[in-house]
Structure 1
Amino acid sequence: MFKKFLSKLGIGSANINLVLHHSQVRLGETISGEFLIEGGTVEQEINKIDIELRLTLNQNGQVQTKTMATVPVASAFVIQAGEKKVLPFAYELPKTLSVSRHGIHYTFVTRLDIAGGVDHLDEDSVQILPPLPLEKIFVAFEKLGFREKATSGSLKPYGQEFELFPTEQFKETVQEVEFFASLEEEGVRLLLEVDVYAGVFGIQEKELKREIFFPYAELDVDILADKLHETIQEMIDQPYQYAASSYMTHYSHTPHVHGHGSGLMGAIGGFAAGMFAGMLVEELVGDAIEEALGFDEEAEEEGVFDDFFGEEDEEF
């Protein structure tokens, strides 16, 4: 009787432990493992077992936690004292998640819901890696001497922004490179910004912007590195063509490939729909995490894309 009373307080009660086969998994792939369940000192009724994928976002000095998904594992059952059970675990990660970076962390929280007692929780960290096509782009940037900044991977209203700085051939001309990525049916699309040092080649405006597309058939690291080198050099050599105002003028007359109509916002809207964290950011805004992200719904309505495609350019 005393043991049963203690078990209701969580002392000597059943417990659960998730053992992942790997603690790293690529976005869109399946992570697997096993649940190890062990009975306590007395027989207990289990209402259910479920597992949550939680995102912890540490950004702009604010820390917020969001449950991204809840996966049912088992319905009601009885576990005897000292009994051991093993249940398989497999979960395919949604492609709309942001990838793990500084300030973006994921945890699986397993809950053993004990009837009339204290639930037992188990937490396991997991690192979500970029999908392979995007990983190849990162490797291509590395071949050109670019390295990710500590703040790379932060969430913006239009997705996850990656920031890199040059250490080799572009070190004297390029301050940093920023991009957003969208995995589409035929390949990877980047919104690329190259920030050059003021005065380089007579350039007064340091922000040059361009959209580029890499078909999956051409996602060889060496080919990507050559294409990125050519693209960045062309932007530096032809700054007038790739200033933000020129980019916006182009989109004000050209329908975007996504078929969302003409105009800049139509183009961006189509792009953002397929971006990492696009759905996530929208959901976070609805859950009042605007302060942590550094933006609000009113700013979104007034033009959240101005940060990337701002019209106020300095003259060359």
Structure 2
Amino acid sequence: MILRKYMALLGVGSARIDLILEKDTYVVGEQVKGVFVVKGGLIGQQLKRIDCDLVMSDDENQKAKGKIVDSITIFTTKYIHSNTENHIPFTFRIPNSLYVGNLMSYRFKSSLAFNEGVESLDHDVITILQTE
């Protein structure tokens, strides 16, 4: 049991996050809906928060590569039991002021933060279109 705890602290066998979205193409101002699926690892872990960033990348301008456009944080004290699956609703509004261009790409970067252990990361690429 102690070995499993230390493995989870190092990220081996710890809980994982996966953001499941209803679709992958949105327009500026649209509400995004989905669910965070949190899968328990080898041991139970105390979840502290879920962070989700909308990240913009500009293939032409290296300075804007990986720029965080907007974020949400869900604070929680939920205990993630080993080998379980938890579903947490996700909603996010695409900012109206978002710049949309041919060389722009967007993704949601989701992460779990625990009281003890390594963060779990997930990346979900989305397409954002300008409203017509």
Higher helix share: 1
Match of 1:55 in 2: 56
Q: Decide whether the 8 Å contact of 1:46 with 1:79 is kept in 2.
A: yes
Query: Counterparts of 1:12 and 1:29 in 2: how far apart (Å)?
Result: 36
Match of 2:92 in 1: 91
Q: Displacement of 1:61 after TM fit? A: 6.1
**How many correspondences in the alignment?**
131
Taking only aligned residues, the RMSD between alpha carbons, in angstroms, comes to: 1.5
Q: Decide whether the 8 Å contact of 1:19 with 1:34 is kept in 2.
A: yes
Query: Counterparts of 1:74 and 1:5 in 2: how far apart (Å)?
Result: 24
**Equivalent residue letter for 1:26:** V
Counterparts of 1:41-120 in structure 2, within 5 Å, are 41-60=42-61, 64-99=65-100, 101-120=101-120
Unpaired stretches in structure 2, ≥5 consecutive residues:
none
Greater relative CO (CA pairs within 8 A, separation 6+): 2
Deviations 1:136-183 (Å, cap 9, x if unpaired)?
Answer: xxxxxxxxxxxxxxxxxxxxxxxxxxxxxxxxxxxxxxxxxxxxxxxx
Query: Counterparts of 2:28 and 2:126 in 1: how far apart (Å)?
Result: 12
Higher strand share: 2
Match of 1:152 in 2: none
Query: Counterparts of 2:108 and 2:61 in 1: how far apart (Å)?
Result: 24
Query: Counterparts of 1:46 and 1:76 in 2: how far apart (Å)?
Result: 6
Bigger-Rg structure (1/2): 1
SS in 1 for 2:57: strand
Q: Decide whether the 8 Å contact of 1:52 with 1:71 is kept in 2.
A: yes
Name the TM-score, length of structure 1 as normaliser.
0.40
Query: Compared with structure 1, are the counterparts of its residues 45 and 60 closer, same or farther at alpha carbon in structure 2 (3 Å cutoff)?
Result: closer
**Equivalent residue letter for 2:30:** E
Match of 2:30 in 1: 29
Counterparts of 1:124-273 in structure 2, within 5 Å, are 124-131=124-131, 134=132
Query: Counterparts of 1:62 and 1:37 in 2: how far apart (Å)?
Result: 33
Query: Compared with structure 1, are the counterparts of its residues 104 and 35 closer, same or farther at alpha carbon in structure 2 (3 Å cutoff)?
Result: same
